[in-house]
Amino acid sequence: MQKNAKQLNIKHRNFWQTHPAAFGAVVFLAYTVLQCVAHWSLVLGQNLMKWDIWQAHYPATVMMGDALRGGTIPMWNPLMLFGVPYYTIVGMPVWYPTTLLFAWLGYTPTLLNIEYVLHTVLAAFGAFLFIKQQMKNSAIKKEICIPIAFLAGLLYGNSGVFLSNAQHIMIIISATWIPYVLYAYQKYLEENKPIHLMLSAGFAALIFFGGYPELFYYLFVFLVPFTVYVNYKKEKSVLYNIGNSALKYIFHAVLTVAASAALLIPFICSMSSLARTNDMGTVPVDMNPVSIFTTLMPGVSSVLPDEPSMGVYYVGVFTLVILPLIFKSKYKDKWFYCISTAAFFVLNLGDGAFFHSFLYRFFPMFTSFRFPTISRCFMALFLLVVAANLWSELLDSLQTEKIESKPLVQLSKILTVSLLCCFAAASVLLYVLQVGAENAAIAASIKIVLSASFYGALIALSYFVFFRIVHQKLIKQATACVALAGMVCFETFTFVYAYTPLTIARYSPTQSMQKIGGPETKEEIDFQKAQNSQRNRSIDFSQAVRTQNKLDSQKIVFDKTFDKNGYLSFVLVNTDRYLDSYNHMITDENPVVYFTSNVVNETMEDLESWMNNPAVTPDQIYVENGILPKTEVEVGAVAKPNQIQSDLASITKTDGMVHTQYPATQPMLGTEFYKLRVYLEESNKETVDVQLVFNPDSNPLTIAGNYHVYNKETTKPYIDVYYPDADVSYSQTDITMAEEISSVESLKMSRTAESKNVTIDAFSFNHIEITVDAPKDGYLTVMQLKYPGWNVKVDGEKANIETINGTFMGVALEQGTHHIVFDFEPMDFFIGIAITMLFGVAFIIVLVYPFFAKNANKKVKTNRKK
C-alpha cells in the first residue's frame, strides 16, 4: 500500500515529463483563463482598441474578410493611390493566419480585441517554454523551476511591450513569436533534430507574415551570437565552432526564407517601388533614458517627454528587486543574457545612442527603423530568463542554512520608502496647485505620479514583507512558492487594471475616436458593429473613394482615407518616376480611368525633360513606345477640370517684376485645388520663360520653367501655373517674365471625376473591365501602377500594356468602341505560395516520419521473433 502511494507520488511529480503535451495544454489553458480575466472588457466587447490598430489594420482586414467570403483572394488593392499589390504590405498582418481566420469569420471590433488577448496568451506560453528550457540544466528541483517559469511567462505576456503597444498589433505579433523561435532553434542546436529547425523557421516566418520587418531583422542579427554561444563546444577548435555555427545559421535562414516565401519573395520584388509614406521611416524614435522609470510605475509614461506607447518597460517589480543576486547566482548563462539585456536596452534609446549608431555603421538598414524601442521584446524576455533563475535559487535557499535574501530586504525597504516619499510629495504639491485653475495641467500630471507611486509602493511593500519572512525562515518552501505566485499575480493584475493596458480604453478626450468610457464607449462599439453588418460586400471599387494627391515633390504625406464602405486607402511611393508625376499634379487632372490622344513624344529623353519641367501642362501624357507622331500631339486634349471660381488679382509692376496679390487660397479639400492663370497682353511665342516665387515673405519657394502659351480666339494668350503643393495656402506669388501681363486669375478647380468616353464595368481586387468609345486613335489610361503580373485583352485579343509616365497602365486603341479586360496574375505571388506550400509538405513529412519509422521497426522486430 505504501509502495503504491510512493509510485503514485513519483508519477504526479513527473507529470510534465511523462505527459509533456497534456501538461503544455494545462499551462496554456491556465494562461488563457488568466489573460481573459485580466482583459475581460476586451473579450466581452465592452471596450475598443485605438490608434494604429483601428485606423489601419482593422479596415484592411475587413476588406480582406469581405473578399474571402466573396470567393476572392485579394492580390491587388486599388484603393491605395495608384494601387499596390495587397500581399506586399508587410507590416500590416492581413495575410497572418489568425487574421485570415477572423477575416473569414467576419472581422468585428470584438474579434480584433480577442486577437490581441490571444497573442498575450501565446506570448506568455512561448516565454514559459523558453525560460523553462534555460532552467533545465539547473541543479534546482523541477518542482520549483516549473512554477517559476510559469510566473515569468505571465510577466512577459503582461510586460510593457504588450501593455503599451496594444495598438501596434504588428509589435504584439512579433513579440509573441520571438520566444518560440529561440526555443525551437536552441533545441535544434542542442539535439540536432531537423524538426526543431523547421519549427523555428516556421515561427520566424510568422513574424514576417504578421509582425514588423524591423523585428524580423533584429531577430536574425541576434541569432548570430546566439548560435555561436549555444552551439560552441569547448573540446572543438575555434574554427570548427565558427564554421559549424555558420552552417547551422545558414540552414535556418534558408528554411525561414522558404517558410515565408509567400510574402517574402513578392516583398523583395517590390522593395524598389514601395516605401514608408509618412517620412517616419528615416526618423527613429529616440527614447529618453528616464523612460526606464516606467518599469516601476508604468503610468508615469504619459508625463515623460517620450511617446507613451513606446516607452513602457514594465517587467515586474520583483524582477528588478532580485537582480542584486546576479553576482552570487550559479546560473551558468547569466552573463550572456545579462549582456544581451543591456545591449537591447541601449538600443531602445534610439538613434542618439552610440550602440544604435554603431549598428547603423555596419547595418545601414537600422537608419530606417521607426521603432528602435521594439527591442524591448528581447530585453524583457532575456531579463526574465535571468530573473527566473534567481527566483528559483532564492526559493531553493530555504532548504539550506545560508539564505541570500538580506540584501533584498534592504533594497525592497529602500524602494518602498522612496515611493512613499514620492507619494507624499506629490500629495502635498497637488494640494497646493489645485488652488488655481491655471495649474490644472500640472495638477493632472501630478495626479498620475501620485497614483503610480501608490501602486508601486504597495507592490514594493508586499515584497519587503515576503523577503523578510523568507530571510527569517518563517515559511516553508512549498508555502513560499504559493506566496510568490500569488504576489506576482497580484502585481500583474494590479498594473493591468491600473493601466488597462496603456493604449486600450484609457482614452484622452483630445484624441479622435476615443471615449472616456461607460455609455459613450458602448455607443461607439455598437456603431462599429452596425457598420460591419451593413457593409456592402460587392467588392466593386469603380465608385470607391481613393486618396487624393496632397503631395509635393519633397514630402510624402501619410494620408489615411476611407471609402464609403470603410476600407482603407493610403499613399505609397512607387519609384522616382512615380514621384515625379506629382510635380505635374497628374492625379488632380484626371479620373482613375480615362481616354486620351495626348502624348508628349516618343523618346525617353523628352520624358525626362517633361518630368523635370514644372512649366509643362499636367494633362500631357507620355506613353512609352507611343503610336502617335509628334505632329499630332494635341495640348489640352484631356478633359479639363471645371472652372468653379475666378478672382481677379491685383497687379503691381516694378522693373519687369509683376506681383500678384490675390485672396489666400485654402488647402485642397476632397477633389478641389487651385491654379493661377496669367494672361499676356500679346504673344506669338509657343513658350515663355517664367520665374515664380511662392510666399516670398515666409518660406519662399522658387520655381523657374519654360511655360507653354495658350492662344485662343476668345481670350488673350495665357499660361497656367500650378501650385507646387496643393495642401498649402499661398498668400502671394511673385512672377518675373519679359512679356507684358494683362491680368491674373486665381482659379478654383475640381478634379475631373469621369471621362465621357469611358465606362467602368467592373473594378475589383484582381480584375478590371472597361468599355471605351474612342473618338479617335489614342490611349486608355488606367491610373494604377504598372506592376508585373497585369495582363490585358482588347475585344478578347491579348494586347500590350504600355507604360504611361513611367508608372501607369495604358492600352493603345484605334477609333471605335472596345471592351478591355485587365487581370492581375502575379507570378511572384504564386511562386512564393508554391515554395511555402512545399515547406509545409516537407514539415509534415519530417514530423510524421519518426512515427512511421518506429512502427516499421516494431513490425521488423515482431517478424524476427516469429
pLDDT bucket at 675, cuts 50 / 70 / 90: confident
Residue-wise pLDDT for 168-180, tens only, equals 888 899 999 999 9
Confidence bin at 638 (pLDDT 50/70/90) = very low
**Structure-block grid coordinates of residue 547:** 486618396
Q: Residue 185 — very low, low, confident or very high, per pLDDT cuts 50/70/90?
A: very high
Question: 599 or 69: whose pLDDT is higher?
Answer: 69
Residue with cell 495582363: 791
* Higher-confidence position of 554 and 788: 788
**Confidence band, pLDDT 50/70/90 cuts, at residue 794:** very high
- Residues pairing with 744 in the sheet: 678
Query: Measured between alpha carbons, how far is 433 from 353 in angstroms, rounded to an integer?
Result: 37
Lowest-confidence region among 172-181, 300-309, 447-456: 300-309
Which residue has better confidence, 417 or 582? Answer: 417
User: 416's torsion region: left (phi>0), alpha (psi -120 to 50) or beta?
Assistant: alpha
pLDDT for residue 636 is more than 50 = no
pLDDT for the residue 129: 96
Residue among 565, 660, 497, 718 at smallest CA distance from 34 = 497
Of the pLDDT bands very low, low, confident and very high (cuts 50, 70, 90), residue 30 is: very high
Asked if residues 87 and 263 have their Cβ atoms less than 8 Å apart, the reply is yes
Locus of grid cell 540536432: 192
- Residue position matching grid coordinates 505620479: 449
Q: What is the mean pLDDT of residues 463-492?
A: 81
* Per-residue CA distances from 818 to 285, 543, 741 (Å): 53, 21, 46
Does residue 633 register a pLDDT over 50?
no
> What average pLDDT score do residues 435-453 get?
73
Would you say residue 243 has pLDDT above 70? yes
Q: How confident is residue 673, by pLDDT bands cut at 50, 70 and 90?
A: low
Position 553, amino acid? S
Query: Would you state the cell numbers that stand for residue 333, as one nine-digit string?
Result: 548563462
* pTM attached to this predicted model: 0.83
Please give the Cα distance from 492 to 316 (Å, whole number): 7
Q: Pick from 751, 768, 766: which is nearest to 546 by CA?
A: 751
The single residue listed with the C-alpha cell 517601388 is 273
The contacts found for 554-557 with CB under 8 angstroms, 24 or more apart, are 555/279, 556/275, 556/277, 556/278, 556/279, 557/277, 557/278, 557/727
- Is the pLDDT at 676 greater than 90? The verdict is no
Are 751 and 588 contacting, i.e. CB atoms less than 8 angstroms apart? Answer: yes
Highest mean pLDDT (candidates 483-487, 542-546, 637-641):
483-487
The answer, yes or no, to whether residue 553 has pLDDT greater than 70, is no
**Burial of 726 (C-beta count, 10 Å sphere; 0-12/13-18/19+):** buried
Residue 278 has pLDDT above 60, yes or no: no
The least confident of 163-167, 264-268, 400-404, 509-513 is 509-513
More confident residue, 663 or 389: 389
Question: What is the distance in angstroms between the CA of the first residue and the CA of the last residue of the chain?
Answer: 39
Chain-centroid distance of CA 246 in Å reads 31
Q: Half-sphere exposure of residue 756, counting CA atoms within 13 Å on the CB side?
A: 4
Amino acid (one-letter) located at 399:
Q
Sequence-distant (≥ 6) Cβ neighbours of residue 433 within 8 angstroms:
439, 442, 443, 446
d(CA 505, CA 527): 17
pLDDT at 854 over 60: yes
User: What is the C-alpha separation between 567 and 56, in angstroms, rounded?
Assistant: 9
CA distances from 693 to 220, 469, 699, 700 (A): 50, 78, 10, 6
Under DSSP, is residue 581 helix (H, G, I), strand (E, B) or coil? helix
The rounded distance, in Å, linking the Cα atoms of 634 and 619 is 11
Confidence of residue 9 (pLDDT cuts 50, 70, 90): very low
Bigger pLDDT: 58 vs 128: 128
Residue 719 has pLDDT above 70, yes or no: yes
Mapping DSSP onto H, E and C, the string for 240-262 reads HHHHHHHHHHHHHHHHHHHHCHH
| The three grid cell numbers given for residue 851, joined into one nine-digit string | 512515427
The pLDDT of 84-112, averaged and rounded, is 83
% residues pLDDT > 90 (the chain): 22
Question: Over the chain, what is the mean pLDDT?
Answer: 77
pLDDT value of residue 287: 67
Q: Is 418 exposed, middle or buried (0-12, 13-18, 19+ CB in 10 A)?
A: middle
**What region does 578 belong to: left with phi over 0, alpha with psi -120 to 50, or beta?**
alpha
Structure confidence at residue 388 as a pLDDT band (50, 70, 90): very high
Helix H or strand E encompassing 778: strand 778-785
Q: What is the mean pLDDT of residues 35-53?
A: 81
Give me the pLDDT at residue 154, please.
94
What pLDDT was estimated at residue 341?
92
pLDDT score at 439: 67
> Which pLDDT score, from 0 to 100, does residue 11 have?
47
Mean pLDDT within 372-379: 82
pLDDT higher for 298 or 231? 231
Q: Are the CB atoms for 385 and 182 separated by under 8 Å?
A: no
Which residue matches cell numbers 515625379? 580
pLDDT at 523 over 50: yes
Measured in degrees and rounded to the nearest 5, phi and psi for residue 739 equal: -75, 155
Q: What is the dihedral of CA 118, 123, 124, 129, to 10 degrees?
A: 130
CA 783, 786, 787, 789 dihedral sign is positive
**Cα–Cα dist 303/448, whole Å:** 8
**Rounded mean pLDDT of 222-229?**
94
Cα distance between residue 429 and residue 446, in whole Å: 8
pLDDT at 497 > cutoff 80: no
Residue pLDDT, tens place only, 306-364 = 666 677 888 988 888 888 888 888 888 999 999 999 888 887 776 555 565 666 556 65
Work out the burial of residue 7: count CB atoms within 10 Å of its CB; fewer than 13 is exposed, 13-18 middle, 19 or more buried. Answer: exposed
Strand order across the 758-763 sheet: 758-763, 767-774, 816-824, 790-794, 797-799
Q: Mean per-residue pLDDT for 696-703?
A: 75
Give the pLDDT band of residue 507 (cuts 50, 70, 90).
Answer: very low
pLDDT tier for residue 473 given thresholds of 50, 70 and 90 = confident
Q: Residue 496 has what pLDDT?
A: 79
* Conformation bin of residue 276: beta by default, left when phi > 0, alpha when psi is -120 to 50: beta
pLDDT value at 689 more than 80: yes
| CA gap 398, 472 in Å, rounded | 10
Res 444: pLDDT: 74
Residue 188 pLDDT grade (very low, low, confident, very high; cuts 50, 70, 90)? very high
Higher pLDDT, 734 or 72: 72
Joined grid coordinates for residue 480: 513560499
